[in-house]
Amino acid sequence: MVSRRQALSALSAWAGAAALGCGEAWRGSTTGPTCGGLAGRRIRWIVPNAPGGGYDAESRLIEPFLEQRLGAEIAIDNVPGAGGILGARAIAAAVPDGLTLGVVGVPGLLVAALSRAAGAPNPASDLTILGRISRSYHVWATGRNSGLETLDDALAAAEVRPLVFAINEVGSASFVSITAAASVLDVHVEIVAGFGGTRAASLAAVRGDVDLVGFNFDTIVDLIDAGELRPLLQVSLSRIAPHQSLDGVAILGGEDGWALRRTRARGRDIDQTRRHTQALVDVMGAGRVAVGPARLDTGLSACLSRTLHETLTDARVLAASSRTLDAASARVAQDDVQRAAAEAPLLLPDLEAAMRRVRQ
């Protein structure tokens, strides 16, 4: 028989446990003080571009929610320059104590690292991947008055003269996407670089100064919705988004994709096309990832990854975001980045050839 003292003691223990559980439930799914003692500390979150850009906007979107979950202060630090390399280097060089984190764009950084551009860290080996924040596949889009209604029209025009693209800078994700896609489609392109950003380059297409631009669909969807640009090609294996402007728009990859279709028609190496297309899609699809320095403590890294993923899938964050983020856990993001890093060398010969042409 249980004594009165034992019963009261058990009751107290259960009451305490229930109170703790209720407390946890009331706070929501927070990991608060368990991330290596980051609670109450100040975390430097490095954004590799100036205020106002996409990386900056996404970071400021998740900042208050991440602060709440970590119990730490997040201080966003814009470190622009060198196409994002300065910011990435600042993260890579930081002490791996969880107090310096940030966001990087994998496609551009990976290509810069592989082409050994001025100390660019390799996201696959020099940084700890904590999760994917967002990704968006590229589309080729043309101005509404260009006379090019479909990809067929563009490819037919390319038989007579090169297709002219506008981009911001050589070596950018856009440069990679256009060059590699043009290679698998076996189409001659001329790239005009130097426009002051995605919008300025898009305006060149709207104005008719160039034929096409190749950018993230999410970045130019408003111009597409306004009828200023028309998408001609989705640089992906399947439909990018359930957006009506993509109805009937050609898709690059996949067994029925235009890359293999052109390859078969021209009697080129099908396996090579398949591999290159997959490599391009994987590199571009690795997206924007949250990272910390390499050699981050395993437990701390796991905790930060879990907290970040909970934040990115929080209904409040999703409601506040103006577009679909397509976040992913650390495991998925790491696999994506490793795969992209393994396949990216396939794209290098085409990229280097394109850079040589531009420099002539």
Partner 1 sequence: MLEATVHGALEGLWLVLAWPNILYPVLGTLLAMLVAFVPGISGATVMALMIPFTLAWEPLPVMLTFGGLVGGATFMGSITAILFNVPGSGPSAATLIDGHPLAQQGQARTAIGCAAMASAGGSTIGILILVLLIPLMRQAIMAFGPPELLMLMIWGLTTIAVVTRGAVARALIAAGLGLLLAFIGQDARTGELRFTFGWLYLWDGLGLIPVVLGLFSIAEMADLSVSGRLTISGKSRVEQLSGSVREGVRSVFTHLGLFVRSALIGTAVGIIPGVGGTVASFLAYGQAVQTSSDRDRFGKGDIRGVIAPEAAHDAKDGGSLVPVLAFGIPGSEATAVLMAALVLHGLVPGRALMTDQLPLVFVLIWSLFLSNWITSILGVALVGPLARLTTLRVQVLAPIVFALAVLGAFAYEQRFEDVGVALAFGIIGYLMKKHAWPRIPLVVALLLGGGIELNLRITAQLHALGRVDLWARPLLLVLVLLVLVNLALPWLRANSAARQEPAS
User: Would you tell me which residues interact with partner 1 (CB under 8 A)?
Assistant: 50-53, 56-57, 60-61, 63-64, 76-83, 85-86, 89, 118-119, 162, 164, 168-171, 190, 192-197, 199-200, 203-204, 206-210, 222-223, 225-228, 320-322, 355, 358-359
76 bridge partner residues:
45
Lookup: tokens for 148: 């090019």
For the bound state, the minimum distance from the C-beta of residue 79 to partner 1, rounded and expressed in Å, comes to 7
**What pairing do the DSSP bridges indicate for beta strands 127-134 and 42-47?**
unpaired
**What percent helix, strand, coil does the chain show, rounded to 5?**
50, 15, 30
Cα–Cα distance, 20 to 306 (Å, whole number): 21
- Which lies closer to partner 1 via its Cβ, residue 87 or residue 253? 87
Q: From start to end of the chain, where are the E strands?
A: 42-47, 73-78, 100-105, 127-134, 138-143, 163-166, 189-192, 212-216, 229-235, 250-251, 288-293
Whichever of 140 and 195 has its CB closer to partner 1, that residue is 195
Say if strands 250-251 and 100-105 run parallel, antiparallel, or are unpaired.
unpaired
Report angle CA 350, 352, 355 to the nearest 5 degrees: 110
Nearer to partner 1, 24 or 352 (CB): 352
Between 56 and 336, CB nearer to partner 1: 56
Q: How far is CA 4 from the centre of its chain?
A: 62
Burial of 181 (0-12, 13-18, 19+ CB in 10 A): buried
Q: By C-beta, is 108 or 287 nearer to partner 1? A: 108
Quote the least distance from Cβ 243 to partner 1, whole Å.
14
| Nearest distance, CB of residue 327 and partner 1, angstroms | 16
Kindly tell me which of 24 and 222 has the beta carbon lying closer to partner 1. 222
Q: How far apart are CA 63 and CA 246, in angstroms?
A: 32
Residue placing its CB nearer to partner 1 in the complex, 164 or 332? 164
Distance CA 296, CA 137 (A): 30
Q: CA separation (Å) from 53 to 48, 49, 57, 144?
A: 9, 7, 6, 26
